[in-house]
Structure 1
């Protein structure tokens, strides 16, 4: 190979190397953003799950007991049942 061909090949490789490094950095940035998004989503799910659990417990503790409810059976017929 001549010196000019060697120089051209090296320049091509340097250009490709620079392009690959930019792509790599872009990929790392995207991955870091995805990891931040994942953590934020996980935190949001944990908060929502905790709130759901609390509300379910509060509703369960304030709901009348089935044995003490009078509206579930009227004259021996459950509401919505066909006569």
Structure 2
């Protein structure tokens, strides 16, 4: 078990016997996993937005190429038009 889990288990075992002052301590210990979860969600959303922008850019590129060239062009014509 990790050191954090040991501290949390010890604190929670003794917290049941006390009547006052438990909220601040439990909240402080609970903030670590809560903030880790929030940070993970923020990273996931950011990555998802970036992948969406990349996909949109690639779609625009494909459409630009498709509108410039048509299927009847030979390989030489395609090569010459890039220069």
Per the shorter chain, which TM-score range? 0.5 to 0.7
In 2, Cα distance between equivalents of 1:54 and 1:6:
74
Instruction: Name stretches of at least 5 consecutive residues in structure 2 with no aligned partner.
Output: 1-16, 74-83
The Cα of 1:35 is off from its aligned counterpart by 1.0
Instruction: Indicate the structure with greater helix content.
Output: 2
Q: TM-score, normalised by structure 1?
A: 0.54
- The size of the alignment, in residue pairs, is 57
Paired position in structure 1 for 2:27? 13
- Which of the pair has the greater relative contact order for Cα pairs under 8 Å at 6+ separation? 2
Task: Give the Cα separation in 1 of the matches to 2:40 and 2:18.
Answer: 33
Cα RMSD (Å) of the superposition?
Answer: 2.5
Output the TM-score relative to the length of structure 2: 0.54
Deviations 1:11-70 (A, max 9, x none): 3222222211111111111111111111111100000011111123x749xxxxxxxxxx
Mapped partners of 1:37, 1:14: distance in 2: 35
